[in-house]
Amino acid sequence: MHGLVLGLLEAEVGDMQSEFRVGGGRIDFRHGGNNPDVIELVVVNHGNEHSPSQNLSELRKLCRVPYSQARRRILLILDTLENPVPKEWLRENYGGYNAGRGRFSRNTVTVVYVHPEDSYSFRWTPYR
């Protein structure tokens, strides 16, 4: 799935890098240029991969990417299940999590949910 999404992003926007190294590990994708973006990919196959508890490490890694390396931080959730998840439910559940303790800069993350019947996005703030 990773290669397929990389190919689609490369065809649509170009200048994509895979497995971009950042301080907290590796980010799945980075779109370069003057306004770079970093993207973490989540694929929902069994029903719980979209929950914030499953994606907390990805959220924390994304929010720590400094402005000099990325202007936007995106958690891309691709849902392959039959029924889409309501936006209000997902936003409310993600709102209960934060970036954790410590002295480091925190940046907001855009959560993008994509399902064949519905798609939406919202901003997750690392402060709770």
pLDDT at 117 over 90: yes
pLDDT given for residue 6 in this prediction: 65
pLDDT in the model for residue 7: 63
Alpha helices (runs of H) in 1-128, residue ranges in sequence order:
2-12, 52-63, 87-95
- The rounded distance, in Å, linking the Cα atoms of 32 and 38 is 9
Distance separating alpha carbons of residues 116 and 92, to the nearest angstrom:
22
The three-state secondary structure class of 92 is helix
Residue 111's pLDDT band, with cuts at 50, 70 and 90, is: very high
**For 64, what's the count of Cα atoms within 13 Å in the CB-facing half-sphere?**
20
Kindly report the pTM of this predicted structure: 0.83
Q: What angle do CA 126, 48, 55 make, to 5 degrees?
A: 25
Distances (CA, A) of 122 to 16, 62, 77: 23, 15, 12
Q: What is the pLDDT of residues 5-46, one digit of tens each?
A: 766 666 666 667 777 777 667 878 888 878 888 889 888 877
pLDDT digits (tens, 9 = 90+) for 51-96: 777 888 888 888 888 888 888 999 999 888 888 889 999 898 888 8
The whole-angstrom distance between residue 53's C-alpha and the CA centroid of its chain comes to 14
With bands split at pLDDT 50, 70 and 90, how would you rate the model's confidence at 3? low
**Residue of 91, 112, 102 lying closest to 38 (CA atoms):** 112
